[in-house]
Every structure is written in C-alpha cells, then in structure tokens.
Amino acid sequence: MKAARGEPGPAAWLLRLARTRRAGRWIGWIFAHMSFAIPVKRLRETGTLLAFYHPRPAYPIHVLIVPKRAWGSLMELESSDAAFLRDLFETVQALVRELGLDAGGYRLIANGGGFQDVAQVHFHLVGGEQSAVSIE
C-alpha cells in the first residue's frame, strides 16, 4: 500500500521505533530473524545484509544497508565478520552500477558515536545533492 502525500511510508514505523532508547539490539534482531517481514522495497538481500531505499531520503538516491546481525556500532565488528564486509562491498559496487551513481558521484556513510541516531550499524549509500533534511 502506498502512502498518501505527506503521510509516512510503510517503513516509517520501523524508523520511529529504531530511534527509541528501548530499541537497542531489538532492531538488529528484527533484521537477523524477521527481515522477510520488513515492509521495504528490497534492492539487495544476502545472508548477511538487507539494502533498501531510505523511508525518509535526504538525497535523490538514498539507500540504507543494514546487517542482519545486532551490532550497536562499527567498533563491535571483528575479523570474523569478514563475510558481512565482503557482502557490503559487493552490494555497494552492484548498486553503484545499477543506480548509475559512478558518473555523478556517490558516498558510503557510516555514522558512529554521537552522530549515530539508531543503535544498529547501518550504512547510507547516497548520490546527488543533499536536501535540507539531515541523514537519519
């Protein structure tokens, strides 16, 4: 079901939930065990990650890439997590090609510490000029 203009999209509930203090590792659990139920348009899905359009984009092209594991920050990743990192870079390369981002430029953003609004590692693949809205 498509949201009417001005109303939140189908994944907005997940974004609101993810920003709460109580969400913590629960968000990671959802991506790890219930990613099939997340109401988003999947651009890529592997055994270790899910890539989809941001429900509130701050760029003309704004993709979220979320691991299917509960990591609160990049500081929690270890060398044994190489499969996720391989999938991440293969996914980014494929999406850059498919979305035509190479010619115009793109960024892969990972917020951490005080810049991280959601207590789950995630990446923003963005292209185009940023709108007045901040990255969430």
Counted domains in the chain: 1
Tell whether 53 is covered by a domain: yes
Domain that holds residue 120: 12-127
Burial of 58 (0-12, 13-18, 19+ CB in 10 A): middle
Tell whether 119 is covered by a domain: yes
For the cut 80, the answer to whether the pLDDT of residue 1 exceeds it is no
Tokens, residue 51: 């890539």
Q: How confident is the model at residue 5 (pLDDT cuts 50, 70, 90)?
A: very low
CATH code of the domain containing 27:
3.30.428.10
Q: Poorest-confidence range of 3-7, 49-53, 80-84?
A: 3-7
The separation between the first and the last C-alpha atoms of the chain, rounded to the nearest angstrom, is 23
24: left (phi over 0), alpha (psi -120 to 50) or beta: left
Model confidence pLDDT, tens digit, residues 84-135:
999 999 999 999 999 999 999 999 999 988 888 877 899 999 999 888 655 5
